[in-house]
Structure 1
Amino acid sequence: MRKTLALAVAAATVVTALVPGTSQAESSNELKWGACPADVSPGIPVPPGMQCTTLKVPLDYRNPSGRKIDIAVSRLASKKPDQRRGVLLVNPGGPSAGLGYPATLVAAKLPQSVLDSYDVIGFDPRGIGHSTPVTCDLTAEQQLYGNIPPYAKSAADVAKRAADVQQIAKQCWSSKTSALLPHISTANTARDMDQIRSALGEAKASYLGASWGTHLGAVYTTLFPERSDRIVLDSNLPPGGWDYPSERLWSQGVEDRLPDFAAYLAANFREYGLGRTPAQVTTKYHQLAARLDKKPVVAPDATYDGAMLRLITFAYLYGAAQMPVLAELWKSLDANQPPPPPPGSATSVAEGADQLISGRYAIICNDSRWPTSVQTYQRAVAVDRVRYPLFGAAGANIQPCAYWPDAPEAPVRVSDNGPANVLMVQNLRDPATPLAAAQQMRQALGRRATMVTADEGGHGVYLFGRNRCANYPVTTFLTTGVRPAHDYACSAAAAPR
């Protein structure tokens, strides 16, 4: 359960001409489509006609004729050849496996007009899932918080965490996959995307990415502007991706989002008894975290202390559908009772925890330079614990990246060089990628982008939100190429979220 809980929380982030274009005839010889793996989309039906394959790509794009690795690719082909525009590469964020993401989008009611216009292409990023994986040989204890640091109550907590993550970094670089690690990055994943495009015989690729997938999409269209067709970025990271400043923004995101959950609990006081007003609910959160720090609720297979409460709350603020689950968890812990198991914690996902968490560490640590001084993190935690009391001392805590060797490539700088073909959509109250992050990405993309904001809470706008005003321009842009002429804001949907 400890591993399963961590994965349930986690589930609820320059070379421009490396690969010549290919013709459709050539691509048919390169990719051999067949049935997808049985675990391609746990809990979600695989749409009829969805197929999978494996593509060989260079491990090191500086040596394209050298060692190759596997990239797992899926395709849900358009059934309307007369309406088909091309390919739409999709990514769910994470970084996580995306091979089954076309199935997720179909389940989320991706409009038929989009399905008719494109072959929808999913893939597992290098290092993760059915692509060539990496491992840090993580123990169950090291997997407990996934890739999110625990809430630090003191400088001593940061120092203890520093020792723990130094050991994780050491394990990563002494593992059997250590030779792969320098090459597991967002930039190389973007190059893998261009290999997919080329193997499919397409001159250009459209793209729909969420969360960390916005950084991937921004890097792709920066590296390959002339091969980018229609680019949609949903719930945006800053242009630097998942780096230390981005992690500290989680704290602002929780401050923005928790009032929505507090209002939900206050409106349902008779059911949950956790406060009659949002202010009382927020006070309850702090009281409950403090009490659990002194006396955790211990279940046979999990321990719930204040740090775990804060982590689960952060993850379950992602969507309105998760609010009743989070409310029941708070209610149980308030009564000193073990909460019910989190839903959707598939064993197959839990079994892949090590390589998922390891792959994420490799990507985020290679993508940017992290502070190396423990004192830097201790000072930041002290500041953010006061400035953002809900989650600040977690978002500012130290990661294994502090002990990671320098990557062989400098980070890609997202810029406004390229066609004006990017549409951004963003909720105002997103716990993981708050508005401040999207505003930074918008500024970096400059004239290339238009941004639509929605007066909503939660992580994910297109399909996973209920704001028709924000959903409409995405479908319109993907199917017609017509993009809003300027940034605009959508008011809240009629049904509260």
Structure 2
Amino acid sequence: MRTRAAWTAVSAAVLGLAAPLSMSAPASAAPPAPVSSLHWTRCADTGLDPRQECASVKVPMDYAHPGGRKIDVVISRIPSEKPAVRRGALLLIPGGPGGSSLDDPSGKGQKLPQSVRDAYDLIGFAPRGLAPSTSVNCGLDHGDLAVSKLRPWPAPDGSIGQNMVTARRMAAACVRNGGELIRHISTVDEARDIDRIRAALGERGLSAWGVSYGTYVGAVYSQLFPHRTDRIVLDSNDDPDPTRVSRGWLAAYETGVEDSFPEFAKWASTPGNPDRVAASAAEVRPLFLRLAAHLDRAPIPWPGANPEELDGNVLRQTMLDSLFSPSRFPALARLIRAARHGTVPPAPTAPSDAAQQNVTAVAATTICNDVAWPKPAAEYRRGVARSREEHPLTAGMPRNAMVCAAWPYPPEHAPVWITAQGPSNILLVQNERDVATPLSGAMKLRDALGTRAVMVTVDSTGHGSYLANGNACGDDTVSHFLATGERPDRDIRCAV
């Protein structure tokens, strides 16, 4: 484990200053071994760390009727690698909605430094609705499984009539095929499930590392169960605005793309880059906009893709997906280069329809159940028109009508207001340029948490910060907090 002096030296070297430390839940003697009610068995998936084991936790389907029907939430574990210094359990909260961390103890959990793997059992889970937990399926048409349907793009002329038709069709399929569980999948339900997981593990308190949507889950859990939390890391943070919730996250792509696209433009115009698309960064944006408009008018057939043609909106969706990480920049550049010559690369591989059905159902139901969405098409038309004018790269998608515009069920839970009430045990880590969870939204969570949190901002591009960028200052700050409970006593910025 890095010593305190060495950790401070790293921060000073990268930041140009020494970051004073304060104590938050300091390390102490190992607590007694927890008394767990779980029956651990070998996990069903292949290719996992042989130490990983799985169990199932029974939770109420409807917390308003806790004595009623129970559903299963499947969890996983790799125990502490040094039981003598074990502190507790570190829950890996997945993004999404629709993401799972069930395999993460074997995956990204093994990237954690030894000091953290010694201190914690690493815990993953498949949130309610997501297989192998009790699962849901909307039985959507194959075409409606395309990402561009869940995040809907307006027609080339900006009209949204077809988007409203799609929303009604998808909502009706979920009602018809989803069963009773689709009404009980929400962030509040997931937070309550997490506390049932904590109890089943026999832990008095739970540490967590939540990423993307998992930051909102972690914030809601910390608000509802503040004294059940130990050390909480929230990575790539969602705006917690309770009046908008996921509506605000969709709208945030406007800002996220504007923050991140210049990095792609610089990369895509670098001399010597085999995927170079322009001679200068200034040329890349107008080139992209012209190409998208051309493909709106003259799509290129793309056998094997979903949909099976490359139109302007598929190019825009590829751009959005590619800005999640600089490692994806080549895929966008190659698509641009091919499309300019009237061709397409091989169709991207996609998960099976069955897997997509399950993930899409959980994503849609969570988003629609968390907050009430407007029903009148006129409100979406106005938002799309403004968005297209102000943010042409995203062409109105972030203000458009998704399935929730036709969702028939009102939210069962009021959105949770995130406040500064509770223990000061939260560390936020955030990239400066993030297409999905932009810094401006992360600052809203930072402000809401007040003195409960300290924020580490990393000069990097992409979605996911901790252990994702190779930034020693950011990574060491988070690792040191998880291992020792010590945080910087003020917000810090980690340079390249």
CA contact (8 A) 1:151 1:391 kept: no
Worse-superposed segment, 472-481 or 162-171: 162-171
Say if 2:137 is the partner of 1:135: yes
Matches within 5 A, 1:70-81: 70-81=72-83
Q: Partners of 1:292 and 1:154 in 2: how far apart? A: 13
Alignment partner of 1:397 out of 400, 403, 417: 400
Q: Partners of 1:82 and 1:455 in 2: how far apart? A: 37
Tell me the alpha carbon deviations over residues 431-455 of structure 1, each in whole angstroms, 9 at most, x when there is no partner.
Answer: 0000111011111111111111111
CA contact (8 A) 2:158 2:396 kept: no
Residue identity in the other structure for 2:405: A
1:48 Cα deviation after fit? 2.9
Say if 2:104 is the partner of 1:101: yes
Tell me the alpha carbon deviations over residues 248-289 of structure 1, each in whole angstroms, 9 at most, x when there is no partner.
Answer: 111110011011011001004662352111111111111111
CA contact (8 A) 1:151 1:310 kept: no
1:411 Cα deviation after fit? 1.2
1:347 Cα deviation after fit? 4.2
Alignment partner of 1:358 out of 353, 356, 361: 361
Alignment partner of 1:33 out of 40, 52, 59: 40
Alignment partner of 1:427 out of 427, 431, 455: 431
Q: Partners of 1:155 and 1:366 in 2: how far apart? A: 27
Matches within 5 A, 1:211-290: 211-240=212-241, 242-268=245-271, 271-290=274-293
Alignment partner of 2:422 out of 412, 418, 421: 418
Tell me the alpha carbon deviations over residues 149-195 of structure 1, each in whole angstroms, 9 at most, x when there is no partner.
Answer: 22443353x121011101111111122x3311221001110111111
CA spacing shift, 1:346–1:249, aligned 2, 3 Å: closer
Q: Would you say how many aligned residue pairs link Structure 1 and Structure 2?
A: 457
1:49 Cα deviation after fit? 0.2
Worse-superposed segment, 166-175 or 261-270: 261-270
Unpaired segments ≥5 residues, structure 1: 1-22, 40-44
The equivalent of 1:318 in structure 2 is: 324
Q: Partners of 2:139 and 2:255 in 1: how far apart? A: 33
Tell me the alpha carbon deviations over residues 385-441 of structure 1, each in whole angstroms, 9 at most, x when there is no partner.
Answer: 111111141111111112222022211111111001110011111000001110111
1:25 Cα deviation after fit? 7.0
The equivalent of 1:333 in structure 2 is: 339
User: In structure 1, the residue corresponding to 2:456 is in which secondary structure?
Assistant: strand
User: In structure 2, the residue corresponding to 1:126 is in which secondary structure?
Assistant: coil
Residue identity in the other structure for 1:172: C
CA contact (8 A) 2:187 2:217 kept: yes
Residue identity in the other structure for 1:425: V
**TM-score, structure 1 normalization:** 0.89
CA spacing shift, 1:288–1:25, aligned 2, 3 Å: closer
**TM-score, structure 2 normalization:** 0.89
Residue identity in the other structure for 2:112: L
Q: Partners of 1:160 and 1:86 in 2: how far apart? A: 51
CA spacing shift, 1:250–1:328, aligned 2, 3 Å: same
CA spacing shift, 1:268–1:104, aligned 2, 3 Å: farther
Q: Partners of 1:408 and 1:397 in 2: how far apart? A: 24
User: In structure 2, the residue corresponding to 1:130 is in which secondary structure?
Assistant: coil
User: In structure 1, the residue corresponding to 2:252 is in which secondary structure?
Assistant: helix
CA spacing shift, 1:24–1:113, aligned 2, 3 Å: closer
CA-atom RMSD in angstroms: 1.7
1:329 Cα deviation after fit? 2.1
CA contact (8 A) 1:248 1:392 kept: no
Residue identity in the other structure for 1:62: A
Worse-superposed segment, 119-128 or 317-326: 317-326
Matches within 5 A, 1:476-495: 476-491=480-495, 493=496
Say if 2:206 is the partner of 1:205: yes
Residue identity in the other structure for 1:33: W
Q: Partners of 1:407 and 1:224 in 2: how far apart? A: 21
Tell me the alpha carbon deviations over residues 460-490 of structure 1, each in whole angstroms, 9 at most, x when there is no partner.
Answer: 1001112111111110110000011011111
Residue identity in the other structure for 2:217: L
User: In structure 2, the residue corresponding to 1:71 is in which secondary structure?
Assistant: strand
CA contact (8 A) 2:212 2:437 kept: yes
Worse-superposed segment, 130-139 or 267-276: 267-276
Q: Partners of 1:288 and 1:272 in 2: how far apart? A: 16
CA spacing shift, 1:296–1:155, aligned 2, 3 Å: closer
The equivalent of 2:27 in structure 1 is: none
CA contact (8 A) 1:431 1:458 kept: yes
Residue identity in the other structure for 1:460: G
CA spacing shift, 1:152–1:476, aligned 2, 3 Å: farther
Matches within 5 A, 1:42-121: 45-95=47-97, 96-106=99-109, 109-121=111-123
Q: Partners of 1:164 and 1:346 in 2: how far apart? A: 21
Alignment partner of 1:467 out of 450, 471, 474: 471
